[in-house]
Structure formats: C-alpha cells, structure tokens
Structure 1
Amino acid sequence: MPTFIDFEASSLDLISSFPIEVGICKADGSIFNWLIKPHVLWKDWSEKSESIHGITRHRLEEEGIHLVEVAEALNEHIPEIAYCDAWTFDSFWLHRLFRGAKLKPTFKLESISMLLDSYQVQRWQSTRNTIIEELKIPTHRAANDALILHKTWKSLQH
C-alpha cells in the first residue's frame, strides 16, 4: 500500500505561493496533518484560496508548526515514495517547504497516475466522488484529501 500526500497552499500561483498545510495517509490508513507556520519571506495570500480551504493566515501564525519540524516529520513518516494527485503543484510546494527548512526530503514524490492502469484512470473521478460521499468529510483539507486518495486507490484495487 502506498503513502499519499496532499498540500493546501496560500494560492495557486506557482511563483509566489507557499504550502500552508500538508497531510499524509500512510499505507495502514493512519493520517497525519500539519498546519505550516509561514516563513518570514512568504507573503503571497489569496482570499479566494482561503475561502476554499478555510485556513486563515492568522491561524497559521498562531497554530502553525515551524517548517523544520514539518519537514522532519514528513521525512520520518514517509517511506521511499509519496503519491499525490496534483504533481506539478505538490512538487512545487514540497520543494518550497524543504528549501525553507534548509533540509532535503528523504523520499520521492510521484503522481498517483504512476500507480494506475488505464481502467483505473477512467474510473478514478467517479470512484473518488463516491468515496467523498461515503466519508462525508470536507475536501480541500490536506489530511482529508490524502485519506480520499488512499480510499479511492484502495477501492480501485478490487
């Protein structure tokens, strides 16, 4: 069973955005989530993105965990590979997190498409929608979205 990862971010700008939350769902289904305290140089903020994920910059400043702690936790919890569903964005935010922490990831980030055959790709969205309905959890929160990836992938294995 693979490990899945998801990020929420300050915006969708691939030049100035930064990760604000990261969640993982490990092979055994256990989930972990970290709000990320912004690096002093990270200024980008989108009100539109905030309205989607519901995380305020003030909350990050108050409750966020320092970048180094988050990066170290990811290295500790993720084995060799973590899979995501938005590789371009997630790889950018992963890089920004680790660069800000002055650390290197001990794992590789891959697209979930690397795990899927053509039948599974065709069934992905409808299966994902069914999982979201069954779980009745909000999307656009990192741990929830990582869990949804895990459950969707698991469902497609049958």
Structure 2
Amino acid sequence: MAYSLNRILSGQVVYCDALHWDSFWCNALFSDTGIHQEFELRDIQVLIGGSENHLRAFINEREKLEDSDKFTVHRALDDAKIIRKALEVALAGRHE
C-alpha cells in the first residue's frame, strides 16, 4: 500500500479533512513498512483559505450533504464526494 500511495501521489499535496487522524495512519503505514513518504498531507482549511465565511460555507454544505439521503457517511467514496461537493461550494464563494 505504501508503494502504491507513493507511486500515485509522489510530489503531490493531499488535503485532509481530519489531518490528525490521516497523519497518524499515514505515519503508521510508512514507519511500519520502512518506506519514505513521498507526498505531503495538509489540512483542508489551507485549501479553502479565504475568510471564516468560506470555512463556514464548507462546513454548512458538508453537514447538509451528510444529513441528506444521498450519501452513506463514513464510507470512503461517499465521504470523498461530500467533501468535493462542499469544497465546490466553499471555493465558488471565494470568487464572488
């Protein structure tokens, strides 16, 4: 798994909505395998940037999507779709 992640993500920045947990598990994976991680993890708030309003727009949209019947929360693919859609709303607000 570590080799695959490096092959796919080498030199890239990966934004996380739970940086603490994602960093913990990534560190566990790479330290257990003795492989050097070749990508960087950053908090999604860095990507959102802007004002508190943009972060609030992201959080509000994410919560709305999580409460809808369109997604199963805590399923990786659905969680990724929720985050992407919430980011679209938050980032669109930066350009208004």
Does TM, scored on the shorter chain, surpass 0.5? yes
| Structure 1: 5+ residue stretches without partners | 1-69
User: Are 2:65 and 2:71, in contact at CA under 8 Å, matched by a contact in 1?
Assistant: no
Q: 1:77 aligns with which of 8, 14, 23?
A: 8
Spell out, residue by residue over 1:99-118, the C-alpha distance to the aligned partner (whole angstroms, 9 max, x if none). Answer: 12221211100000111222
Where relative contact order (Cα < 8 A, 6+ residues apart) is larger, the structure is 1
Match in the other structure for 1:108 = 40
TM-score (norm 1): 0.50
Match in the other structure for 1:152 = 86
Which has the larger helix fraction?
A: 2
| Structure 2: 5+ residue stretches without partners | none
- CA pair 142-104 structure 1, distance change in 2 beyond 3 A: farther
TM-score (norm 2): 0.77
Q: Aligned-pair RMSD on alpha carbons?
A: 1.8
- CA offset at residue 124 of structure 1? 2.0
Spell out, residue by residue over 1:102-140, the C-alpha distance to the aligned partner (whole angstroms, 9 max, x if none). Answer: 212111000001112222112222111233327x12111
- Using the aligned pairs only, state the percent identity: 30
